[in-house]
Amino acid sequence: MFEIITNLHSHTPYSDGEGWHREIVSAARQAGLNAVAVTDHNVFVHGIEGYYEGVMLLAGEEVHDCLRRPQSNHCLVYNANDGLSPFAAHPQKMIDEVKRREGMAFAAHPYDFASPVDDDLGGYPWTEWEVKGLTGIEIWNYMTEFKRHLVNYPIAALAIFFPSLFIAGPFKETLRKWDELAANGHRVVAIGNADAHAAKVHKAFIKRVIFDYDYLFRCVNTHVLIDKPITKNFERDKKMLYSALGAGHCFVGYDLIAPTKGFVFSARSGSDTFMMGDEFKRRGAVTFQVKCPAIGSIRLLHNGRVIASGLGRELEFHTVEPGVYRVEVYRPFRLLNRGWIFSNPIYVR
């Protein structure tokens, strides 16, 4: 397999971001990303996709109903190749339209909480869980997590200057919901993103651009596993990336605390080997294998419950139980154990 590092959630001045596409591409290159998606609010920008500075620039959209009160249901749309905002008031119709265009729809920051430090920092959760056809959910949105840590002014001031003291992992609520959906038979692809805006803060004595794109693209990323190397032919590579993403051949990594490239979660049954996102009918025992690029505290979960764990670079586990299996890896960084790697599930039937 070949691994490409992506960040699939960022904003430009077409909505509420501060940097243009060129800046985003440069930041992505400096951060070592292979692909970056721009997902402006209710705007699909035509004619920008392609390879720039060796980085794939993808055009997506973050669709939501601006008139809805309270605000909710931000949906990340990829590969629809046109704007979907006319459907924003009807999430199911929108998702159906995305499917018709062979695109993908992800619930963005499904748990999102308002911060008391600023009226502009509202909460935008996903509430439409009864919709059918979501490709997956954004299990870790860096800016959403950051916002939740802003519980008062002194802490907010500290967090703005030292965000890495605070960022610790996906919300428990999100992971629980993901496990619940998977336990109910849904295949739910997990992605993790920056939600980069390069926002400017002008508050009292603090005047600062927080989270420039470059910094954010070194943090929470989605690593996608493709079966052939990238060709630098944009259309071919885009197709390969999106088809692997839709199949859940990916994991979420917090690359700031240690590079997550090289992580492996696989299952062996009989003479077949399966990867993240795969679904198979077991033949006899199943052996799961986890390999990390550095030492971590590895947890293997079965239907949302930890069934094996260990500190190290590898973990192996044998079972005959069907169910949904996924991996979480934690690493200590600045005095705290922090979420490092979150695999997509392997579905054993």
Binding site for Zn ion (CB under 5 A): 62, 74, 108, 195
Round to whole Å and give the CA distance between 122 and 148: 10
* Nearest residue (CB) to Zn ion, 106 versus 330: 106
Q: Is 26:55 a contact under the CB 8 Å cutoff?
A: no
Residue nearest to Zn ion (CB): 74
In whole angstroms, give the CA distance from residue 236 to residue 247. Answer: 17
- Calculate the alpha carbon distances from 244 to 90, 222, 278, 344 in Å: 28, 12, 11, 12
The alpha-carbon radius of gyration of the chain (Å, integer) is 19
Q: Are 263 and 341 in contact (CB under 8 A)?
A: yes
Closest CA relative to residue 277, chosen from 175, 185, 184, 346 = 346
CB closer to Zn ion, 10 vs 343: 10
Neighbours of 9 (CB within 10 A): 29
Our CB check for Zn ion shows the closer of 38 and 327 to be 38
Supply 149's token pair: 């840590």
> Measured from the CB of residue 138, what is the shortest distance to Zn ion in angstroms?
9
Cβ closer to Zn ion: 74 or 238? Answer: 74
* HSE-up (13 A, CA, CB side) for residue 9: 29
| Shortest distance (Å) from residue 282 CB to Zn ion | 39
| Nearest approach, Cβ of residue 327 and Zn ion (Å) | 27
Rounded to a whole number of angstroms, the minimum distance from the CB of residue 188 to Zn ion is 18
Min separation Cβ 142 and Zn ion, Å = 11
CB of 323 to Zn ion, least distance (A): 32
Nearer to Zn ion, 12 or 319 (CB): 12
Please identify, using beta-carbon distances, which residue of 72 and 343 lies nearer to Zn ion: 72
Cα–Cα dist 23/307, whole Å: 44
